[in-house]
Each structure stands twice: as structure tokens, then as C-alpha cells.
Amino acid sequence: MDSRSINLRGFAGNAGKNIMQGIGGFVFGNERSESKEDSYVERFLDRISNGTIPDDRRSAMTELQSLVAESRSAQMSFGAMGFPVLLNILKEDREDVELVRGALETLVSALTPIETSQGPKTEVQPASMNSDLLSRETENISLLLSLLTEEDFYVRYYTIQLLTALLTNSLKRLQEAILLIPRGITVLMDMLMDREVIRNEALLLLTYLTRDAEEIQKIVVFEGAFEKLFSIIREEGYSDGGVVVQDCLELLNNLIRTNASNQMLLKETIGFDPLISILKIRRGSAFNFTQQKTVNLLGALHTVELLLMGGPPGEQGKDTSKINNQTALAQKNILDHLLLLGVESQWAPVALRCTALRCIGSLVLRNPQNLDSLANKQVGEEPHLQPALNAILAIILRTSIAQEFVAADYVFKCFCEKNPNGQALLASTIAPHPNQGPATHGASVDMPFGSVLLQALVSSDVNGDMEACCRASSVLTHVIKDNLQCKDRVLQIQLETPTPSLGRTEPLLHRIVTCLSLAALTEGENDQSSQSEESYIQPVILRLLIIWLADCANGVNCLLESAVHLNYIIELASNKRNTGCVRGLAAVVLGACVLNNASREKGRDAFAVADAISQKIGLTTYFLRFDELRKSFLHLPSGQQHHKQLSRSSANSMSDFQEIEEEETNKGDQHPVLSEIFDSQFVSFLNKLESDIRENIMDIFSRTKTATAVLPGELEQKNGEIDGEYIKRLKSFVEKQCNEMQDLLGRNAMLAEDLVRTGGGTTSDSSERSSSGRERVQIEALKQELEGAARRIEVLKTEKAQIEAEASNQRNLAVKLESDLKSLADAYNSLEQANYRLDAEAKTLRQGGSVPYPDVEAIKAQAKEEAEKESEVELGDLLVCLGQEQTKVEKLSARLAELGEDVDTLLQGIGDDAALPDDNDEDDDDEDEDDEK
């Protein structure tokens, strides 16, 4: 190494040292306390770069490594001066293996954070700054990857550690750099076949590298990652292996998480048999669940969960990938292993049982074959076999761990979703068992599913076990959801009333409302001892009522059979001692009673429920309950905690799931069950229901009770109806309309009064709501009046068109009669001409004298008599027709006058033809001539 390069390097080091000293003084607030370490770092770097004796350089490297590993100030100084020196050694001094080892170890120490109790926790970490400096240049990463091909074990080992340290601090930058380096990932994959220590470090490196990096994931899979990972898992002993199995599963999960193509490659290359082998456990291995084995099994179950989730949300082939994975896993009998872990192995850790139950639910979700398989599965050993669904229901009813209840409830949710046949199968078994007594919910094994469920629902009357009633209500919710037949079937279940004095049986729906009231009393007694935790009992039972009443008019009618039920739900929605969630859900129940009400009986119809809400709660307050409910859902946790990535940092806490669950239960105001029960699907359903309820209630208060509509047919005079009856019917109709309008005005006045009363608060928000409510009432009233006026205008237009059409017909008929009269006049003229001709011939004959002429006067009189007879007949017919038409014209004229039409204008020109008088005059002239003659 020539002196010029040494001097240049020294100059760069001094300049960098001065800059970093200034940065260190600014960050740490001490300009001189660490100057000693800075001078040591500079001296060691000078010996390494300018030394000529190899042993001295190696010794300086060792001392530098020790200093950097112990001092934060030394790390800072090294970052300013040391990287060019040590990177140059990695390039130029490859033959000096010991020096290269020291350089790599020193770089690892420079990138490893040093924890200290002094100084603020927000201060800059020198290790993080050094990682940023080293990863800025792609050439540096390429240089480190080239060292992985060296023969020396420690060179490869320290290089892997250095890359891992870089990934922890500069993940994105290193991922981008490795993608740009040819065969960079291939070199890393080769490390999986290296010696055990390097292989384990390579696993950690690849695990970091593949997080949220789809391109790197594809390359790693292309390099045979699946075969290598399962080969390592098999060598380590599957679930009985150590932390290496955990690392392999974490890397595997990174490769298939929301990656449908990699999931398909896994299925088509090596299949799911190796995964099933990890999940195999011995029946009755009560004391074999060590912490590491639990973590390994959790990792494998998480792999199953990812396969059952399919591709990323919204992707076109997501459902196809999910269904294919469901089918392939079921063919490997994974359901048996999941049932053994989640249902039969009650000695297994809680986290394992919960995760296995969730996997069972995801395995059967909307998959007909897997649903049938679960419905027919038996668990346990002879002679204590029982259906798998019964065993899962027993877990729901008896577990003391909320998360296990949620996981088991998820199985029933998935089993019943889009599975009407399965719902009908479960609903058909709901009936009192002959041997069923006031036992606890730990029912006999031979009892049907529905009998066990029904016993839990009504057990609160016996021993006050509201927890069992609540959990059974959650299961019943899934059984009847979106299935009207199941709702009606369960609605018909009658319970023997505990008080024979009533003399009748009690519907199951009434007992559910009774349990809800008992839950309120129980929680009221416990308020003094438990203020920090919100119970989930009332919300879960209210959810059942909401699902039951949705689109079920028979259910609403059954609920409203007793006025006590409606009053209690109203009290639940208005009582300020209840939580916002309970008040809001009770308001939704009331809205469902309005929305799905088909009753015509007074006091139980939709109008009666709406009036009760308005009078006892107030519409403004009632609608505010929906806002409170929405806000309570915003405060709930996400409910997706079981989908988080399982890493080394979270694995140990996940394995001790019960303690974590209990801690979360006590640290918040919301019960953790609520975040799982009220999932996004149910919240969306409530939002849609709320919109329909608001619209329906406002419509009720904006129209009349009988919804009388003005129809043109009702205003039209019927055939054969005399005018007096027609006027009487119209008068009755108008009176009815006036009464309805008065009723509507009274309702609007009551509504406006309520809005003004509730809007008198001090907050501007309440004032705005009151103002907007009043405006909406006025708008609705004006809208109704406008619609009524428009309908009346249409009726009048129709009548006017009919009258005009009839008048036009009469005009046409008059024209026709005029034409007939003209034809008759022409015939009369022809007759007169013939008479003239005959007179002339008679005169000629008289003048001749030789031939006796006939009696002309007699012939003339006879002809005239015949003509007059014929004319009189035709004139008589014409006068009859004219009389009839004149009567019609008089009636139409009177009707037009009533409607305000100008009759003279319409009749102008009719019958004023001048031809008729001329013809009459001509007839008179002819008669005079005849008289003269």
C-alpha cells in the first residue's frame, strides 16, 4: 500500500472524525467526556491501515473490536472513520484470514446496539447510524455477499451475522440492494446447506429478508426453499425439535402469507404431508407440551391458518386458492389432528387449543364436503364417544377462558355460515330432553346437541348462571342467522312455565327476554365490585334478538305479545346506567320491531311501537343511541390479534396465552369478547339496519295511519251511480282526507315538540340536531301536501280529457245529422222537379184534346201524400235523435260549467249552418206555388 493512499485515508479519517465529534457532542450533550475513546479509535485505525507488521495490525483490530463492542462513543467515532479502512481490508487483504475475521467481527460490534441506563431513551443509537452508513452503497452489500463463498467458517459466520444486523436496522434498503445483486439470494440459500451454526444464522437472515417482499419470496421459493425447510424440520424432529424448527416455520409462513402462487407451489411440489407430520401428537400426552414444542405447534397451526386464508384480500383467485387448500388439507385428514389438539387435548396449552379451534372453523367455512365431515365426526374413546359439535358446545359452556369461548364460538359461526342444511340439522334437535332436569350446563354425553343448548339457555332460572345463557345465546344466533325456516322452528319451541298458575306454556323467545332482564339485575348488583370491566352478557343476548327479529315478522309478533317486553326494551334503551353499547343494541331491537312488523292489531303494530319510542324515549334521543353504538364499536380492539405474525419475540408470550388474555381483560374498559363477537360483518349489518330503521320511522311520522291515497278511480263516477250518491261519496272521501290530515298534523306537532324539547341543551350539536329534525318534519309535511295536490291535478286532467273527448264526439254526431238533413232536402227537390215535369206533360195533353188525359190532380195529390208520409217518418226519427243529443249536450254543458269551462265557446259553431234555413225557405216557396196552382 503506497504512502499516497495512506495519507488520503488519514485525511478522510481526520475529517470524518471532526464531523462525527460534532454530531456526537450535539446528540449526547458532552463534547469532551468521550474524547479518550475517540483518540483510541483513531490510533487503532491508523495502526490497521498504516501498519506493516501483520501481527500488530491484527492486535490493533482485536483491541478496536473490544472498544467498539463496549463504548457507544467508540461506535460513533468508528462510524465516522472506520468503514473505509475495514471495507478496504475486506477487498484487498483476503489472504489474511485472521485480519478479515477481525474486521468482520468489528463491523458486527459497530452495528450491535449497546444498552445503557444513562441518557434519554429517545437519543440516537450509534449502531443504527452505522447501519445506515454501511447499507447506503450497494457495492458494500455485494462485497459482503462475496465473502459467503470463502472457505473459512468464521468468515462466513461473521458475514451472516453482519448481514442480519444490517437487516434489523435497514430492512428496506438491504432488500432493494440484494435484488440488484446477481445471484445474491442464491448465495444466501446455499447457506441453508452449510454447517449447523451458519445454517441457523442463515435462517434468521432469510426470515428478515422475506418479510413483506414478494419478489424476494418468489426467488427464495424458486431456489427450493420448501424442500430445504422441511428437510431441516424433519432432521430436527418435527414439533419436538428446538428453536430451529420455529425459525423454519416462521420463514415458511413469510413465503406463503397472502401469496397464492407460493401456496400452490407448496401444494404441488412437496404437498401438505410434512406439515401434517408436525401436527401429529400422541393421544394422552398430557405432560409432553414443553414451551418450545408449544411454540412449534403454534407455528405449524399458523401455517394452516395462512393456507386457509388464501391469497391477499380482494384478489380474483383468493377464494379458489382457499377452497383448493381446504380440500387438499381435508384429504390429509387434518381435521382429526385439529380435533385432537383443540377439543380432546384439554391438557394442552390454551393457545394451542384456541388456534386449533380457529383452524377447524376456517377449514369448514363454506366448504360442503368439510362441513359434512365435521357434522359426522366423533371424538373421544370408546365407550365415551360423542359428536364433535357436541364436544365443542361443551367447551363453550364450561370454559373459564374468554378466548377459548370465542375460538369455539367461531367454529359454529363458520359451520352455520351459508349452510342452511347444517342450520336446520342443529335447529331440529332443539327440544326439551325427557331426562333434562335442573342440572348444570355440564350435561350428559348422550343428550342431543339442541337439548344441551336449550338447557343452558334456561338454566339461569335455576342457578342464575347467566354466563351459560349468554354463551348458548351466541351459538343460537349462528343457528338461526339468515334462515327464516330455522327462526320459525325455534320460535315454536314452548317451555313449561315455572309458575303453573299462568296456565300456559312459555315461548323460548319470551324466556330469552326474561334472561336479558335477569342479566341486567345481576350486573346491577355487581356494579359496585367491578367498575372497570364491561360485561358481554347483555350485548350477546341483544345480538341474538336482533338477528332473530331481522326479516322475521312472526318473531316480532311473538315478542310484542306481551307489553312488558316492549316496555323493558325501551327501559334498556333509555336507562343511562347502561353502557352505550347496550343502549344502542336495545335501540336496534326496537327498530327491528318497527321495521319487520306485519301486525294489524292495535297496540302491537309498527305505529304503536313508533309512538311508544317517541313518547318514552324521544326520537332525537333514540337516534342518538345509534351514534353511541357506533362510537362503542370504534373503541373495541381490532379482533384480529390471532392473525399477527408469530416471531421469536412474540412466541413465548403466545405460548402463555392464558396469562396474556387475563391481563388484557383487566386493563381495558371493554371486555375482549366484544371485539371478537362484534366483528366487521355484524357491524356492517347493523349499519344497514340502522339506515332502514331511520327511514322507516321517519316515514311513519310523515304519513297517515291508514295510508289513504287519492286514486283517480275513487273520484270517478261509477256506472249507474246517480249524481246525489256520487256527491255524497265524494263528500265522505273528502272528510276522511281531512281527518287523516289532522292526524298527520298532530303527529308532526308532537314530533316537533319533542325535537324542540330535546334540542334545548347547551351544546351546539344538540341545537343543530333539533333544527335539522324540525326542518325534516316540515319538509316531509310539505312533500306530502305537494304529492296530494299533484294527485288531485292528475285526476282533474283526466276528467277534463274525458269531457273534451265526449264533446268532440257530439260535434261529430251533429255534423252527421246535418249531412242527413241535406240529403233529405236534395231528395225533396228532386221530387218537386218530377212534379213540374208531370204538370208540363199534363198541360200538353190537355191542349191536344184528342186523347183523354188522366186525372192529374188525383195523381199529383197521391204522389204528394206518399212523399209527405215518407218525409214525416224520416223527420220523426231525426227529431227523436236530436232530442236525445240535446239532453246529453245539456248535461255536458252543466258539468263543464261546474269545472269552470266556458260552455258557449265549446258549442260555438254547432248547428249554425246556413244551408238548413235556405232549404226550409225553398220548401215554403214550393208550397206557396202549389197553393197558387
Separation in Å, CA 471 to CA 121, 456, 541, 673, 710: 46, 8, 9, 11, 52
| 699: pLDDT strictly greater than 50 | yes
Alpha-carbon dihedral 923, 924, 930, 933, rounded to 10 degrees: -140
Half-sphere exposure of 308 (CA within 13 A, CB side): 26
Between these two residues, 767 and 693, which has the higher pLDDT value?
693
The candidate with the shortest Cα–Cα distance to 518, out of 466, 573, 456, is 466
Write out the three cell numbers for 765.
Answer: 350539536
Task: Give 266-315 pLDDT, tens digit per residue.
Answer: 999 999 999 999 999 877 665 678 899 999 999 999 999 999 998 887 67
For the ranges 404-408, 431-435, 512-516, 800-804, the lowest mean pLDDT is seen at: 431-435
The DSSP code sequence of 812-823 is HHHHHHHHHHHH
pLDDT value, residue 147: 92
* C-beta atoms surrounding 20 within 10 Å: 22
pLDDT in tens, 769-815: 444 545 555 676 677 677 777 777 877 778 788 888 888 888 888 88
| pLDDT exceeds cutoff 80 at 509 | yes
What pLDDT was estimated at residue 911?
Answer: 57
Q: Which residues of 581-617 are buried (b: 16+ CB within 10 A; e: fewer)?
A: bbbbbbbbbbbbbbbbbebeeeebbbbbbbbbbbeeb
Angle of helix 126-135 relative to helix 97-110, nearest 10 degrees? 120
pLDDT band at 28 (very low <50, low <70, confident <90, very high): very low
* Alpha-carbon span 63 to 71, nearest angstrom: 12
- Does pLDDT of 657 surpass 60? no
Amino acid 11: pLDDT: 32
Helix (H, G, I), strand (E, B) or coil at 867: helix
| CA 198 to chain CA mean position, Å | 48
Alpha-carbon span 509 to 670, nearest angstrom: 28
Q: Is the peptide bond before 182 cis (omega within 30 degrees of 0)?
A: no
Q: Is the pLDDT of residue 546 over 90?
A: yes
Write the pLDDT tens digit of every residue in 56-66.
Answer: 999 999 999 89
The domains of the chain, with CATH numbers, are 35-114+125-181 (1.25.10.10), 449-521+535-648+670-706 (1.25.10.10)
What pLDDT shows up at residue 523?
63
**Which has the closest alpha carbon to 68: 101, 84, 46, 45?**
45
Task: Enter the C-alpha cell of residue 386.
Answer: 360423542
In 10 A of CB 701, how many CB atoms? 20
Which residue in this structure is represented by grid cell 234555413? 917
Task: Locate 821 and state its grid cell.
Answer: 238533413
Cα–Cα distance for residue pair 586/588, rounded to 1 Å: 5
> CA 648 to CA 260: how far, in whole Å?
25
Give the pLDDT confidence of 754-765 residue by residue, as tens digits: 655 554 443 444
Tell me the CA end-to-end span of the chain in Å, nearest whole number.
165
Output the DSSP codes for 87-108.
HHHHHH-TT-HHHHHHHHHHHH
Where is average pLDDT lowest: 166-170, 186-190, 867-871? 867-871
pLDDT of 932 strictly over 70: no
Name 187's bridge partners. none
Q: 184-220: per-residue pLDDT in tens?
A: 899 999 999 988 999 999 999 999 899 888 899 999 9
Question: Angle 699-705-709 (CA atoms, 0-180°, nearest 5)?
Answer: 85
**Residue where the block lists cell 419436538:** 240
* CB-based contact 711:737 (threshold 8 Å): no
Bridge-partner residues for 378, per DSSP? 387
pLDDT digits (tens, 9 = 90+) for 92-112: 888 889 999 999 999 999 998
The band of 501, judged by pLDDT with boundaries at 50, 70 and 90, is very low
* Residue 528: per-residue pLDDT: 43
- Give me the DSSP letters along 355-397: HHHHHHHHHHTT-HHHHHHHHH-EES-TT--EEHHHHHHHHHH
Per-residue model confidence (pLDDT) at position 563: 83
Instruction: Render pLDDT for 568-600 as a digit per residue (tens, 0 to 9).
Output: 999 999 988 888 899 999 999 999 999 998 888
Report residue 879's pLDDT band, with 50, 70 and 90 as the boundaries: confident
More confident site: 122 or 605: 605
Average pLDDT over residues 678-705: 84
Residue 907: predicted pLDDT:
66
Mean pLDDT of the chain: 79
Looking from the CA of 333 toward its CB, the CA atoms found within 13 Å total 6
Closest CA to 582 of 491, 519, 638: 519
- The alpha carbons of the chain give a radius of gyration, in whole angstroms, of 49
Cα 473 from chain centroid?
A: 22
CA dihedral 246, 248, 249, 251 (to 10 degrees): 120
- Return the pLDDT at 295: 94
Contact 239, 349 (CB under 8 A): no
Average pLDDT over every residue of 620-638: 82
Q: Measured between alpha carbons, how far is 75 from 111 in angstroms, rounded to an integer?
A: 8
Q: If you average pLDDT over residues 345-362, what whole number do you get?
A: 92
In angstroms, the Cα distances linking 720 to 174, 289, 323, 730, 795 are: 96, 94, 71, 16, 20
When pLDDT is cut at 50, 70 and 90, the band that residue 900 belongs to is: confident
Rounded CA gap, 437 and 74, in Å? 78
The pLDDT-based confidence of 680 (bands split at 50, 70, 90) is confident
Q: How far apart are CA 522 and CA 536, in angstroms?
A: 13
Q: For helices 291-309 and 648-655, give the axis angle rounded to 10 degrees.
A: 110
Rounded CA-CA distance 679/633 in Å is 9
pLDDT tens sequence across 377-429:
999 888 788 999 999 999 999 998 989 999 999 999 999 999 999 999 999 99
